[in-house]
Structure formats: structure tokens, C-alpha cells
């Protein structure tokens, strides 16, 4: 166990032991005071012991309740701190892997181009691999930057943009690297739709994270279906995959920072869906997660149109 983990565990147990010791000492001194007053009553021939006992028990109960509440609050705070520290450790490990993988892939493609003479088709593939690695790296870095941006409370740009053109560009950017051969279908209305008011780059990141999540957690032979539609005064975009889906009890949890479903074979930072949810919400929209008819995950986003 690392030193900082051991120190945190020691603080937890020390707090618990100290709390138990204080409570036991408090009970012991209350008992001694009551016994002492009974002895004084017996020697003086008075009968105030019962009233004195009730007074000690009453005041002691209030003090005991406040003290217990304080220690429970401290204990919960320590547990929350430990859970957050565990999530952050996982995030650091995951983000290291998520950043190193595209860097390694890009470096390998560039080294191959430099060291060998290839035919035009192979060169094209290597260039695509390098480009895909840089695109993945850019998205990972953008996720981290957007996360810090949300924490700092910086406002997003507010300009009208065409949701369909933006979504087509997002899908095209996802069909690179390991997902170049994956099938992503887009179902959009033939007639023009209204414009969305907001930060196009942030929405592109949100939709990109959702589509990448669908690609990552579904088999290679399963297509990802994207549907764009206009409902009254809102634009709806839904992503449907053929994976294992997200359990009902985890659908709110995965929208929190650094949260991921355990026991999965894929790695991740726990920022993708969190950022998507926050970005959509900051635009006055909503993100919902449900099970798809294919047994996978169905994530729908809704954004208000410009008035």
C-alpha cells in the first residue's frame, strides 16, 4: 500500500478510536457524578439525587447526540475523501494510458514512413493512422481542458450553428483509427432544421464522446445508429449501439465525474459521458440514458432551438 494511502487509512481508524474513547469517557464520568450525588444524598439525608440524575441524563443526551453527529460527519467526510482520491488515482492511470496509446500509434506510423519505402496505398494507411492518433489525442486533451473549464465556471460561446452539419463532421472524425471500419449510420430529416444557439465546439465534443462511447462498448460487427430529429422547439440526437448496455442502477452514476462501470475490458478516464451531460445541460438541454431495443445503450440528447 502506498504511503499516502496508509496515512489516510490510519487517520480514519484514529478518528474512530478517538471518538469511541471520548464517548466511553463521557459515559464513565456521567456515571461517577450520579453515584457521587447518590452518596451525598445518603449522607445528608436529602432526596435530590433523582432530579440531579435526570438533569445529567438530559444534558448528557444532548451533548452525546451532538458529539456523535460530529464524529459521523467527520467519518463520512473521510470516506468521501478516500473515494474521491481513489477516483482521481484511477483517472491519472487511465488518462496516462489514454494519452500514451495515440502517441505511440502516431509515432509508430511516422517511424514506419521514415524508415521504409512503401507503396502509395500503404503510405495512405500510415498517414491515416498518424492522423487518427493525433485526432484521438486532441479529443483526450480537449476532454481534460473542458473539465477544467467547467470547474472554473467559464462561460461558453453562444452562436447559432447547424446541428446536422456539425453531427456529420463529428461522425466523420470518429471513423478513424481503430474505428475506421465501423459502421455509423445517420438518420436525419430531408428538410432543413432550425439552428441551435450555443458553443458548436463544446457540442461537437459532447456528441463525439457519446458516439465514441458507443463504439468502444459495442462489438465491431454491430453498427452504431445515430438519429437526428426536430421535435417542436428542440433538436434531438440519439445514439444507439448493440453492446451490453448500462445497468439501470448505473445510468445516473456514469454521468458523474471519474465514474465508470466496473469489470469492463476497456479503459477510460470517466470524463466522456460526464462532460457530455454537463455541456448539454449548460445549453439548456438534457441527456437521458435508456436500454435500446437491440439490448445495448440508447443515449438521447435534446437541445433547444434558437428563438
Q: C-alpha dihedral over 216, 221, 224, 225, to 10 degrees?
A: -170
Confidence at 72, pLDDT banded by 50, 70, 90? confident
Q: Which three cell numbers stand for residue 137?
A: 489525442
C-alpha 134/C-alpha 213 separation (Å) is 18
225: β partners: 185, 240
Res 1 pLDDT > 50: no
Domain boundaries in the chain?
A: 3-88, 97-152, 159-304
Tell which residue, 192, 292, 206, 286, has the closest CA to residue 242: 292
What does pTM read for this prediction?
0.61
In angstroms, the CA 252 to CA 255 distance is: 5
**Got the DSSP string for 126-145?**
HHHHHHHHHHHHHHHHHHHH
Has residue 279 got a pLDDT over 90?
A: no
pLDDT value of residue 133: 75
Residue with cell 471520548: 22
3-state SS assignment for residue 201: helix
Instruction: Tell me the CA distances in angstroms from 282 to 68, 179, 222, 273, 286, one per residue in order.
Output: 40, 29, 32, 14, 9
Confidence (pLDDT) at 171: 92
Among 13-22, 40-49, 286-295, which stretch is predicted with the lowest mean pLDDT? 40-49
Does residue 263 carry a pLDDT above 60?
no
- State whether residue 303 is helix, strand or coil: strand
What is the mean pLDDT of the segment spanning 56-72? 74
Angle between helices 163-174 and 200-216 (to 10 degrees): 40
Q: What is the pLDDT of residues 105-163, one digit of tens each?
A: 777 778 888 887 888 888 887 787 777 777 777 777 776 676 666 655 566 778 899 99
Asked: is 159-304 a CATH 3.30.565.10 domain? The reply is yes
Amino acid at each position: 500500500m502506498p504511503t499516502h494511502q496508509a496515512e489516510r487509512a490510519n487517520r480514519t481508524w484514529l478518528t474512530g478510536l478517538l471518538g469511541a474513547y471520548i464517548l466511553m469517557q463521557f459515559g464513565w464520568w456521567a456515571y461517577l457524578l450520579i453515584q457521587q450525588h447518590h452518596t451525598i444524598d445518603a449522607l445528608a439525608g436529602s432526596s435530590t439525587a433523582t432530579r440531579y440524575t435526570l438533569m445529567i441524563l438530559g444534558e448528557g443526551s444532548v451533548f452525546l447526540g451532538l458529539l456523535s453527529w460530529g464524529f459521523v460527519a467527520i467519518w463520512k467526510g473521510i470516506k468521501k475523501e478516500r473515494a474521491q482520491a481513489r477516483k482521481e488515482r484511477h483517472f491519472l492511470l487511465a488518462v496516462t494510458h489514454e494519452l500514451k496509446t495515440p502517441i505511440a500509434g502516431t509515432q509508430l506510423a511516422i517511424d514506419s514512413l521514415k524508415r521504409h519505402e512503401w507503396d502509395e496505398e500503404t503510405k495512405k494507411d500510415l498517414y491515416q493512422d498518424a492522423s487518427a492518433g493525433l485526432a484521438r489525442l486532441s479529443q483526450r486533451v480537449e476532454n481534460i481542458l473542458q473539465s477544467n473549464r467547467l470547474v472554473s465556471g467559464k462561460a461558453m460561446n453562444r452562436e447559432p450553428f447547424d446541428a446536422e452539419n456539425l453531427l456529420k463532421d463529428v461522425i466523420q472524425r470518429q471513423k478513424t483509427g481503430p474505428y475506421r471500419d465501423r459502421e455509423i449510420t445517420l438518420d436525419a430529416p430531408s428538410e432543413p432544421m432550425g439552428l441551435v444557439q450555443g458553443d458548436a465546439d463544446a457540442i461537437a465534443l459532447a456528441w463525439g464522446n457519446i458516439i465514441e462511447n458507443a463504439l468502444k462498448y459495442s462489438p465491431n460487427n454491430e453498427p452504431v445508429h445515430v438519429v437526428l430529429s426536430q421535435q417542436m422547439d428542440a433538436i434531438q440526437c440519439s445514439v444507439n449501439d448493440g453492446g451490453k448496455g448500462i445497468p439501470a442502477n448505473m445510468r445516473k452514476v456514469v454521468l458523474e465525474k471519474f465514474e465508470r462501470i466496473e469489470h469492463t475490458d476497456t479503459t477510460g478516464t470517466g470524463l466522456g459521458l460526464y462532460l457530455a451531460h454537463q455541456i448539454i445541460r449548460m445549453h439548456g438541454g438534457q441527456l437521458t440514458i435508456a436500454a435500446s431495443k437491440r439490448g445495448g445503450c440508447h443515449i438521447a440528447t435534446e437541445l433547444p432551438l434558437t428563438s
